[in-house]
């Protein structure tokens, strides 16, 4: 783990790039690369301290490559941890952790399956207890920005919903314990952007290694454009994001040679977004156009005490 950067010595100043601290909370290995890979690569390249907390090892994920089809349960979880490490190398991120340590919470499976009732799965976790573990990370790292899912988990997966609950509760607990995160974001995709990307996909499909295309409803976090407050241009880090996604080979197939498309185990092609979008739900922003920086308006010392307030 890299040493945490020190904040600016002048309260109220914006943090230097080396003093920026970003924390992302995700449910399974691969979620971070799909949702935030370009953002993570960009801030890591700029010298920010990027921390990823993953809540499960994804032991119940569906495996795509036939040569890895034998993997399941704990063996799949261990393999996916190796995939996560490779993805983090691609993104330039050194600080990545499992909530409560490897194996503390297991994958809950898809909605409605008996797996959801496993007492050791993340869906069954006590929210305050899990949030307390995450709050310890927050107080240690002192991020100015936290990124996670919306209250529906982006697309309704139990572990994504639980990750949202745990992350938002951890923000409250950490504020009580000494670090009040100034800005919290949820992952989003503007509907107009998703629709335009799928229109391009329809034109490009014949040249891709996929037989069918997905649809806008397959993309987590699609919302009306006016809910999106922030867009992070990660086009300079497109190759890093694609490499990170490709590292999660049990779960993702990225079009080769590189094209901005991928498929999950359903084999339905969907766009690979290199500009990534967010909704600010805690903190303040200047009125008008969308932010182009997750740290916009944040002072280096902000968060030590006092409330950040709610996004307008």
Annotated binding residues, written as ranges, equal 28, 31, 160
CB 194 within 8 A of CB 227: no
What is the spatial distance between Cα 211 and Cα 224, in angstroms, rounded to a whole number?
A: 29
The residues pairing with 221 across neighbouring beta strands, listed in sequence order, are none
Residue numbering of the annotated binding site for Zn(2+): 28, 31, 160
Alpha-carbon span 83 to 113, nearest angstrom: 26
**Spatial contact of 57 and 101, defined as CB atoms under 8 Å apart:** no
Per the CB < 8 A criterion, the answer to whether 249 and 64 are in contact is: yes
* Residue 114 to residues 117, 118, 130, 158, 221, Cα–Cα distance (Å): 6, 7, 22, 12, 26
CA atoms of 173 and 35, how far apart (whole Å): 26
Q: Which of 11, 9, 12, 39 is nearest to 23 (CA)?
A: 39
Q: What would you measure as the largest C-alpha separation in the chain, in angstroms?
A: 56
The SS3 of residue 184 is: strand
End-to-end Cα, the chain, rounded Å: 36
């Amino acid at each position: 783990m890299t040493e945490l950067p020190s904040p600016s010595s002048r309260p109220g100043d914006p943090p230097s790039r080396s003093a920026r601290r970003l924390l992302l909370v995700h449910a399974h290995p691969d979620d971070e690369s799909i949702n935030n890979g370009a953002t993570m690569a960009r801030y890591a390249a700029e010298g920010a301290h990027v921390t990823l907390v993953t809540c499960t090892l994804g032991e119940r994920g569906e495996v795509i490559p036939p040569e890895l089809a034998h993997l399941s349960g704990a063996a799949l979880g261990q393999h996916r941890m190796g995939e996560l490490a490779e993805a983090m190398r691609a993104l330039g991120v050194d600080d990545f952790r499992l909530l409560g340590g490897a194996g503390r919470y297991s994958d809950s499976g898809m909605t409605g399956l008996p797996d959801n009732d496993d007492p050791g799965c993340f869906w069954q976790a006590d929210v305050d207890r899990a949030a307390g573990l995450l709050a310890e990370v927050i107080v240690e790292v002192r991020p100015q920005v936290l990124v996670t899912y919306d209250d529906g988990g982006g697309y309704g997966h139990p572990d994504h919903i639980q990750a949202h609950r745990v992350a938002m509760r951890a923000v409250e607990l950490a504020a009580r314990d000494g670090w009040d995160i100034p800005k919290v974001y949820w992952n989003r995709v503007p509907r107009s952007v998703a629709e335009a990307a799928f229109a391009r996909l329809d034109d490009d499909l014949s040249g891709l290694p996929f037989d069918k295309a997905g649809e806008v409803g397959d993309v987590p976090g699609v919302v009306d454009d006016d809910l999106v407050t922030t867009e992070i241009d990660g086009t300079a880090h497109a190759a890093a994001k694609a490499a990170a996604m490709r590292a999660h080979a049990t779960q993702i197939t990225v079009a080769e040679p590189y094209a901005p498309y991928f498929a999950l185990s359903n084999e339905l092609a969907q766009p690979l977004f290199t500009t990534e979008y967010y909704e600010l739900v805690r903190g303040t922003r200047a009125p008008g156009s969308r932010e182009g920086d997750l740290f916009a308006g944040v002072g280096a010392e902000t968060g030590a005490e006092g409330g950040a307030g709610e996004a307008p």
